[in-house]
Amino acid sequence: MLRAHTVEDVRRAEQAAMARLPDGALMQRAAAGLAAAVLDLLGGAYGRRVLLLVGPGDNGGDALWAGARLAGRGARVEALLLADRVHEAGLAALRAAGGRATHDLDDLDPGTDLLVDGIVGIGGRPGLRPDAAAALDRFHGVPVVAVDVPSGVDVDTGQVDGPHVVADLTVTFGTHKVAHLVDPASLASGALHLVDLGLDPFLEGVAPAVEALQPDDVRALLPHPGRVVHKYTRGVVGVRAGSGTYPGAALLAVAGAGSGLAGMVRYVGPEAIADTVRTAHPEVVGAGRVQAWVVGPGGGDDAASMLADALADGVPVVVDADALHHVTAPLPGCVLTPHAGELAAMMDVERVEVEARPLHFAREAARRWDCVVLLKGHHTLVADPTGRVRVTTTGVPWLATAGAGDVLAGLIGALVAAGLEPYDAASVGSWLHGAAATEAAAGGPITATRVAARVPRIARETLAAPAPRPLG
């Protein structure tokens, strides 16, 4: 499991580690890891031009010590000092290695191969001071490596407010932070590289602020039939979806539900659509007992009655699309799957507010409706009423296509019917959905139908793989 911790928890762990190490040892570990990552990105040091943007804290110290290492390897290193006082030992080391430092932006070499963002660290506030913003503007287009977090983002919420660094690579230390995983700050982090500082023993028992499933976690959670099993014991999922206006939504929700992860799929809907569903999916049957319902995709004017009928069965319900408009009371044991616009309407706020504060609104919605809420986005969030949150890091931008959410709802419903708790079902379903989209896209456009078709293969490979498959 990839875990991200709060600033407070990270600081406590760092203090505990420093108490057992020689003075400055933790910073040297960080600087060594940062320098190695920069060297890897540049393809070497000799003759490369590196500009350090250095603020007043230990973050700036990490950048200065790393710059000293790079200068010692033959790089031409300059530091723009964005504070009257910076880390003295780091600055002395940089100068001793042949690097130079200045407070004057106009005194810098106009050309550089790489910026190292050491402006502010995990204790920084959202936004940047004008001098830092001016430096970034001067070197716009130059690749940026952020030290620990992109300066100017809110580390514990993933929110941004005002100018901030947009990094190509973020080299973080000890553990991941919320801003690395949660939008919109995650979009500013670029690729992530974690440098091990030995903090794990000091974070044991500390609940992460957010976490992200990895392939091994998905493998452990995926339903796996026992030796003695039949289709009913593997779970039956029902789908109430589609209308005369949106018949395709029923087909796509059934395709997601019919991924093979549950033993049977039932479809209940208009007869004309039912005939189409049975033609496309001959294994699908009609009304009967289920362990979970999927309700809402393409439901149109019938969505309210679809939701009421499903809730009357007393089983978990995955509530999607049109059915979300009819959620008026807590739904314990259920899963809501809105995108930002749908959640904004449910909570009577503007969409831009949800997009600016997705972690806040996902948690608030889960508490309000006493159920799991999956908020779709670049990094989809899955929140439960206790405040736990998982982030989906699989997927590609091509997944933003019509019908993809219908497939996801069906897939989550199948996992609930197969026995997973709603929080796990939503997390695993979102991970599989993103991984299937990544493989189906292969760098290009995809359709929801193709995503659904790849889910069984991704599940099979994940179950069989002896080692983790790479994330999308």
Residue 369: which pLDDT band, with cuts at 50, 70 and 90?
A: very high
pLDDT above 60 (res 213): yes
State the pLDDT at residue 471: 42
In this predicted model, what pLDDT tens digit does every residue of 144-156 receive, in sequence order?
Answer: 999 999 999 999 9
Q: Answer for the pair 437, 472: CB distance below 8 angstroms, yes or no.
A: yes
In this predicted model, what pLDDT tens digit does every residue of 9-22 receive, in sequence order?
Answer: 999 999 999 999 99
In this predicted model, what pLDDT tens digit does every residue of 296-344 receive, in sequence order?
Answer: 999 999 999 999 999 999 999 999 999 999 999 999 999 999 999 999 9
Average per-residue pLDDT for the chain: 95
Give the CA angle between residues 341, 315, 232 to the nearest 5°. 120
State the pLDDT at residue 257: 98
State the pLDDT at residue 455: 97
What is the rounded average pLDDT of the residues 420-440?
97
Closest Cα to residue 395, out of 436, 361, 446? Answer: 436
Beta-bridge partner residues of 74: none
What pTM does this model have?
A: 0.94
Positions of E strands within 45-99 = 49-54, 76-81
Q: Which domains occur in the chain, in start order?
A: 2-210 (3.40.50.10260), 215-464 (3.40.1190.20)
Q: Answer for the pair 426, 372: CB distance below 8 angstroms, yes or no.
A: yes
Residue 466: which pLDDT band, with cuts at 50, 70 and 90?
A: low
